[in-house]
């Protein structure tokens, strides 16, 4: 159980306003951050995980201010930042580094608990049999799943992901999202994931936070996410892909995606 509170947060880079006056709270949900390029999604996530500080406002996790990089916030990046030349297992094990001294990690003296946790995390993302495969030999989707496993080994109370499937083909993107959601549900972790693929977002998300020009445009639950809101967020160009999923003018129907991914992932 964890609650993320974003309280009137602004972030300025010189004259540039990246985020302005944004407030929302998410509790035990799989939430999606939507917005076009430059809307402030990455800046918001970087403020939440303490990689940068807000210029104004406060961010709290379970009531405690977040003011520097914290080990209980797991972060998954678009370019997964794995160590390519070593195995999936060793990459996952690295997630526990904050609990292990540098000397121990160099000599791979992590305890049995850490090792079991790394294998459990790889099982969660469907890669137990590939545990000893070198990451550079894995597909982009598999590498991203190793990134999810590594974040899980941190024992996070909050999982953040910045465009985790942006560089994947649509089928791999669905599979990775299905594993990410499975990981959050199984580990009982609140998640905030930035995405630009609206259909994938609508299928997997439980809550949607829309940013436009750094401000909060909407904060809605799944049944309140309408094409009209998406149009407000992206304009006509980005919503073309929604056409086949619409019924009437005011409902999203993302059922056509995700089912095959879910069958594969066995959520």
Choice from 16, 79, 108, 171 touching ligand ATP (CB under 6 A): 16
The residue range among 36-44, 60-68, 102-110, 227-235 that interacts with ligand ATP, by the rule CB under 6 A, is 36-44
Choice from 6, 18, 131, 229 touching ligand ATP (CB under 6 A): 18
Name the residue nearer to ligand ATP (CB basis): 16 or 228: 16
Q: How far is the CB of 249 from ligand ATP (least distance, A)?
A: 27
Window 198-237: contact mask with ligand ATP (x via CB under 6 A): ----------------------------------------
The residue range among 35-43, 64-72, 113-121, 145-153 that interacts with ligand ATP, by the rule CB under 6 A, is 35-43
Query: Are the beta carbons of 238 and 245 closer than 8 angstroms?
Result: no
Query: Are the beta carbons of 20 and 13 closer than 8 angstroms?
Result: no
Name the residue nearer to ligand ATP (CB basis): 212 or 253: 212
Q: How far is the CB of 121 from ligand ATP (least distance, A)?
A: 27
Q: How far apart are CA 55 and CA 43, in angstroms?
A: 11
247 binds ligand ATP (CB under 6 A): no
Task: Find the binding residues for ligand ATP in span 99-138 (CB under 6 A).
Answer: none
39 binds ligand ATP (CB under 6 A): yes
The structure tokens listed for 241 are 């892909």
42 binds ligand ATP (CB under 6 A): yes
Name the residue nearer to ligand ATP (CB basis): 196 or 253: 196
Name the residue nearer to ligand ATP (CB basis): 126 or 214: 214
Provide the binding-site residues for ligand ATP, judged by CB under 6 A: 13, 16, 18, 35, 37-43
């Amino acid at each position: 159980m964890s609650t993320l509170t974003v309280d009137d947060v602004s972030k300025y880079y010189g004259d540039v306003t990246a985020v302005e006056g944004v407030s929302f709270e998410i509790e035990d949900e799989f939430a999606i951050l939507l917005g076009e390029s430059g809307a402030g999604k990455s800046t918001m996530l970087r403020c939440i995980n303490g990689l940068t500080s807000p210029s104004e406002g406060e961010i709290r996790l379970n009531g405690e201010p977040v003011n520097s990089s914290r080990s209980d916030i797991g972060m998954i990046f678009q370019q997964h930042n794995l160590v390519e030349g070593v195995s999936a297992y060793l990459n996952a094990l690295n997630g526990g580094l904050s609990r292990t001294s540098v000397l121990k990690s160099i000599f791979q003296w992590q305890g049995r608990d850490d090792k079991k946790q790394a294998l459990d995390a790889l099982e969660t993302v469907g890669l137990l049999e590939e545990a000893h495969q070198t990451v550079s030999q894995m597909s982009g989707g598999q590498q991203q799943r190793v990134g999810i496993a590594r974040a899980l080994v941190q024992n996070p109370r909050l999982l953040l992901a910045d465009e985790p499937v942006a560089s994947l083909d649509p089928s791999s993107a669905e599979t990775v999202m299905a594993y990410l959601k499975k990981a959050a549900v199984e580990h009982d972790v609140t998640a905030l994931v930035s995405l630009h693929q609206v259909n994938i977002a609508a299928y997997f998300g439980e809550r949607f936070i829309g940013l436009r020009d750094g401000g909060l445009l909407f904060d809605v639950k799944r049944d309140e996410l309408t094409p009209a809101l998406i149009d407000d967020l992206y304009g006509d160009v980005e919503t073309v892909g929604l056409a086949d999923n619409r019924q009437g003018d005011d409902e999203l129907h993302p059922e056509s995606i995700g089912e095959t991914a879910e069958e594969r992932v066995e959520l």
